[in-house]
Amino acid sequence: MQYATELETTIRDMVQTGRGILAADESTPTIAKRFIPIKVECSEENRRAWRSLLVTTEGLGEYISGIILFEETLGHNSDNGATIVETARAQNIVAGIKVDKGTTPLALSAGDLITRGLDGLAERLRSYKQQGARFAKWREVYAIGKQAPSRNGIEANAEMLARYAAVCQDEGLVPIVEPEVLMDGDHDIDRHAEVTQAVQHAVFHALQRHRVALELMILKPNMVLPGKELRRAKVDEVAAATLKVLRRTVPAAVPSINFLSGGQDPEEATANLNALNQQAPDAPWKLSISYGRALQQTALQAWLGNNENVQTAQQALLKRARLNHLAMLGQYQPSQEND
């Protein structure tokens, strides 16, 4: 592989004990939804200001090793005058880029979605790399319904993830592979586990078919949870169900599993991660985070689009990152939320 040494360096910089990934790659429509509750206009300047706030948080690099950015952010400067990428790098935070182009219905497969964006991916990756990106992320989405996801949908999405990952490694960027089984619905935790296992099984078969080096990628899966319409599961139940699926599907060669928060509130996502690490202290992979809302939510609520609130918002972000750092070590306690 042409870029093996480069990929190994990126993995080494990103996969570290007690450090995780901050997902700040919301598309313009998605970040607009995040801004609505705090009554902030979704202008380019406000998007730039928010992402500048994230990367200029002093001390964030102690707990965060990578940040996933949206395409426009690669061209933005932070408030200190350096680019967002350069500002992240100054804290030893590796910058990456979301490269998929969103979902569309999968033809002749009711209830299934497929993600767009493979056309021209290699050329785009070269451009992103020149702007400082060292890894990429691609998300496939699986909704649970009476007929979904179908076997056709599972296989088609796995093929897309594998093709994307192969192109990334061919261009020298570490791929984050994100198969997200949604928690929307009234399914129980056993149904979520069944679908998650089928999805991850198909994904790793496809990755091996496409000769993706598992040591040079990161998996970003969902935790196994009951549907949102049901009561929350206990943290030990979530951890046990999630680990059972991972042990059945994820090869030990994968260096890190960085969970998405997937609609969990910040405290719930942290507590569940902590239980995972307590139950599997000798897991063959790091059990870490790639959280978006679960890291950003309290900081957004503190910021409110007001420059006078930047320091308070950064303190909220740093606290959330520190609590997840403790959860990566299996040392988080709910009482620490009040510290």
Rounded (10°) angle between helices 189-209 and 235-249: 30
First to last CA, the chain: 48
Q: Which residue has the tokens 């609609």?
A: 263
Known catalytic residue: 267? no
Instruction: Give the active site residue among 26, 171, 178, 268.
Output: 178
> Residue 204 carries which DSSP code?
H
Q: What are phi and psi of 180, to 5 degrees?
A: -105, 115
In the Cβ-directed half-sphere of 73, how many Cα atoms lie within 13 Å? 33
Q: Return the sign of the alpha-carbon dihedral for residues 327, 298, 303, 35.
A: positive
Name the nearest CA neighbour of 298 among 285, 315, 276. Answer: 315
- For residue 109, what are its two tokens? 């497969």
In the Cβ-directed half-sphere of 93, how many Cα atoms lie within 13 Å? 30
Using CA atoms, how far apart are residues 47 and 317, in angstroms rounded to an integer?
A: 17
Name the nearest CA neighbour of 111 among 189, 182, 40, 32. Answer: 182
Q: What are phi and psi of 66, to 5 degrees?
A: -150, 155
Instruction: Give the active site residue among 98, 129, 137, 220.
Output: 220
Name the nearest CA neighbour of 10 among 238, 175, 143, 124. Answer: 175
3-state secondary structure of 78: coil
Known catalytic residue: 286? no
In this structure, are residues 284 and 252 in contact, taking their beta carbons and an 8 Å threshold? yes
* Catalytic positions, written as ranges: 178, 220
